Structure 1
Amino acid sequence: MIQRIQTVFLFLVAVAMILVISFPIWQQVNPSQTQLMTLTAWNLTTIDVASNDVVDTTSKIFIAILAIVAAGIAIFSLMQYKNRTKQMFLNMVNSFLMVVNVGLIVWTTHTANALINPAVNGAFVIGFWAIFAGMICNLLANRFIRKDEMLVRSVDRIR
């Protein structure tokens, strides 16, 4: 049923993944305050702060692809309300994709941080924390789907 609470949570998962694509994920400034490194879902950009010129850009499109796939799976899972076991499986796959995405982001930021300022860690910003919000919403959706499935099975057992 489309009006259940898990629908809201699955929609929020898709919104969270769109936030990952739309907002910066990580930022770091070198010790002399001359360069700013920013990671988005699309690329890792180094900017010269004084002249505001782009020094270097490296494509990190795999982060965006994983976020788009996770948002697509959340929307597809939202439409599979008649098959709760399939819906739970899709949500587990989606959780795995989000964990892989977080791992890739942490690895990317760790290697980028070693280049610009290894003494100080960079700051994770809204794009990074949106993934965790999506993971929590995904887990809550799975919980309520499982609750519905147990309710249906208990009613079938009474008949």
Structure 2
Amino acid sequence: MIQRIQSIYLGLAIICNGALPFVFHLWKIDGNNVFFMSIIVYTILFGLSTTLALLSLLSFKKRQQQFVMNRLNIILNLILLGLFVYRTLNLSGDTSVVSEKGIGMFLPIVTILLLVFANKAIKKDEDLVKSVDRLR
């Protein structure tokens, strides 16, 4: 399980969605950092994404199921990214209320890239298994 590269990608996706949102802030308003826990929708979406990546990692014997779960996770992270973009465009940019975007808003992009790399590796494994089955 761990020796496969897609397991490493999925593990990094779990860390990116499960641990890093606690470290990096999403945006800063009036000098106060706003983390994802302050808005329940972001918390739910980050939790679902982490759970899907963990389930995908644990279902390493079922490559097709793993592939589908990763696709669902990509869609979930695109929704999360869309919510971040919407919030960023609606965030005030007045000089009286100083607002600053945080690096935590880029976590869904990193997760999407990791999931795409994992899906490529899963597809490669699936093609290898199919080619071996043809030789039998």
Paired position in structure 2 for 1:99 = 78
Q: Is the 8 A contact 1:24 1:39 kept in 2?
A: yes
In structure 2, the residue matched to 1:117 is: 94
Q: What per-residue deviation string (whole Å, max 9, x for no partner) do you get for residues 34-91 of structure 1?
A: x346432122xxxxxxxxxxxxxxxx11011101110111011001111100000000
- Aligned CA-pair RMSD: 2.0
Aligned equivalents of 1:146, 1:135: Cα separation in 2: 16
SS of 2:28 mapped into structure 1: strand
Q: Structure 1 counterpart of 2:5, which letter?
A: I
Q: Counting strand residues as a fraction of each chain, which structure ranks higher?
A: 1
Cα separation, 1, equivalents of 2:88 and 2:52: 26
TM-score between both structures, scaled by the size of structure 1:
0.76
- Residue in 2 aligned with 1:138? 115
Once residues 100 and 128 of structure 2 are traced to their aligned partners in structure 1, the CA distance between those partners, rounded to angstroms, is 44
Alignment of 1:9-158 (within 5 A): 9-18=9-18, 19-28=20-29, 35-36=30-31, 38-43=33-38, 60-113=39-92, 117=94, 122-158=99-135
Equivalent position SS for 1:27: strand
- Percent of matched pairs sharing the same residue: 32
Contact 1:95 / 1:135 at 8 angstroms: preserved in 2?
A: yes
Letter in 2 for 1:69: L
Greater share of helix: 2
Q: Which structure has the larger Rg over C-alpha atoms?
A: 1
Q: 1:113-133 CA distances to partner (integer Å, 9 max, x unpaired)?
A: 2xx528xx9543231122211
Structure 1 residue 101, shift from structure 2 partner? 0.4
Unaligned runs of 5+ in 1: 29-34, 44-59
**Paired position in structure 2 for 1:52:** none
Q: Which stretches of structure 1, 4 residues or longer, exceed 6 Å deviation after superposition?
A: none
- Given the two structures, how large is their TM-score scaled by the length of structure 2? 0.87
